[in-house]
Amino acid sequence: MTTASGDHGVAFGNRLLDALSPADRARLRPEVALEDFGMKQVLYRPGGRIDSLYFPVNAVVSILTTLRDDPAVEVATVGNEGMVGSHIVLGSETMSVRELCQVQVPGRMWRMDSGSFVRVLSEADPFRDVVQRYLQALFAQISQQVACNALHSVEERCCRWLLLTHDRVGSDTFPITHEFLSQMLGVRRASVSLAASTLQQAGLIDYGRGRLTVVDRHGLEEVACECYRVLRDEFDRLLGPADAPADPPAGTA
């Protein structure tokens, strides 16, 4: 479930970039550089400048909302299906005053200078199209998160989170602590420990000391709330199925 090969060797391993034609990808290639990112690395601070954009390959990034008294809560996650730094698309050079972007699962991302990004965006319509479709998907993700946090249990939300992350890291095992996950979900660490323990006893996951392994993916989907599938379907609709980049869906004239 890693890269979408079958493409002529120039695939980026990022669904957004790989949705472009080979020719467009070739044009984009000199503008980006593959880099490694460590856990909890902060990409943008609240209100900070957006100097670079990032297209994850196997890293996962959280968009967080910071609050006065509580730790920050996750608003959306970005992985190999999208990009980090979308505010640039809306013409802003800075983050919102309360928003933060942080690496949550370490890995590789393509880095692109924001100046280059703006230039390419204005020159290449296909690129603008796919970026705008991704913004719609991001919108949908955050919207779903609103309802999910209001209505669904901690255990359901844990499953949703694990599944979305699993889709994005390209590996069954990835580093994550209960403490960190509890902050993402806006709940107690103990609540996550309890849910995780239940999932482990059910044979769905395995974990210990900051490393988690997805054992029974299908089982996780059974326990997760509907939000996971809704989001996956919406991403597939807007960016094409995970494995086949090819044809952009209808919706642009």
Partner DNA sequence: AGGGTTCCGTACGGAACCGTACCAACGGCG
Partner DNA sequence: CGCCGTTGGTACGGTTCCGTACGGAACCCT
Q: Is 217 exposed, middle or buried (0-12, 13-18, 19+ CB in 10 A)?
A: middle
Q: Any contact of residue 160 with a second copy (CB under 8 A)?
A: no
The runs of H, that is alpha helices, within 153-207 are 154-169, 178-185, 189-201
> Residue 78 Cβ, how far from DNA at the closest point, in Å?
22
The answer to whether 42 and 100 have CB atoms below 8 angstroms apart is yes
CB atoms within 10 A of CB 214: 21
Answer with the entry of DNA, a second copy, none that 193 interacts with (C-beta below 5 to 8 A by kind): DNA
Answer with the entry of DNA, a second copy, none that 121 interacts with (C-beta below 5 to 8 A by kind): none
Q: Any contact of residue 106 with DNA (CB under 7 A)?
A: no
Out of 38, 91, 208, 247, the residue judged to bind a second copy by CB under 8 A:
91
What single-letter amino acid sits at 202? A
Answer with the entry of a second copy, DNA, none that 210 interacts with (C-beta below 5 to 8 A by kind): DNA
Residue 101: strand, helix, or coil: strand
Query: What token pair was written down for 185?
Result: 């979900």
CA 90/CA 87 separation, integer angstroms: 5
Answer with the entry of DNA, a second copy, none that 208 interacts with (C-beta below 5 to 8 A by kind): DNA
Segment interacting with a second copy, rule: CB under 8 A, options 18-26, 31-39, 125-133, 215-223: 125-133
CA 213/CA 253 separation, integer angstroms: 43
Q: Is 91 exposed, middle or buried (0-12, 13-18, 19+ CB in 10 A)?
A: exposed
> Residue 155 Cβ, how far from a second copy at the closest point, in Å?
15
Nearest to 142, CA basis, from 187, 99, 106, 107: 99
Nearest to 213, CA basis, from 181, 185, 175, 164: 175
Answer with the entry of a second copy, DNA, none that 239 interacts with (C-beta below 5 to 8 A by kind): none
Binding-site size for DNA (CB under 7 A) equals 22
Segment interacting with a second copy, rule: CB under 8 A, options 19-27, 53-61, 184-192, 209-217: 184-192
Answer with the entry of a second copy, DNA, none that 73 interacts with (C-beta below 5 to 8 A by kind): a second copy
CB nearer to a second copy: pick between 7 and 234: 234
Answer with the entry of a second copy, DNA, none that 113 interacts with (C-beta below 5 to 8 A by kind): none
CB atoms within 10 A of CB 59: 26
Scan residues 191-230 and list those touching a second copy (CB under 8 A): 226, 230
What mask of x and - would describe binding to DNA in positions 164 to 203, judged by CB under 7 A? -------------xxx------xxxxxx-xx-xx--x---
Q: Any contact of residue 68 with a second copy (CB under 8 A)?
A: yes
Out of 18, 81, 99, 155, the residue judged to bind DNA by CB under 7 A:
155
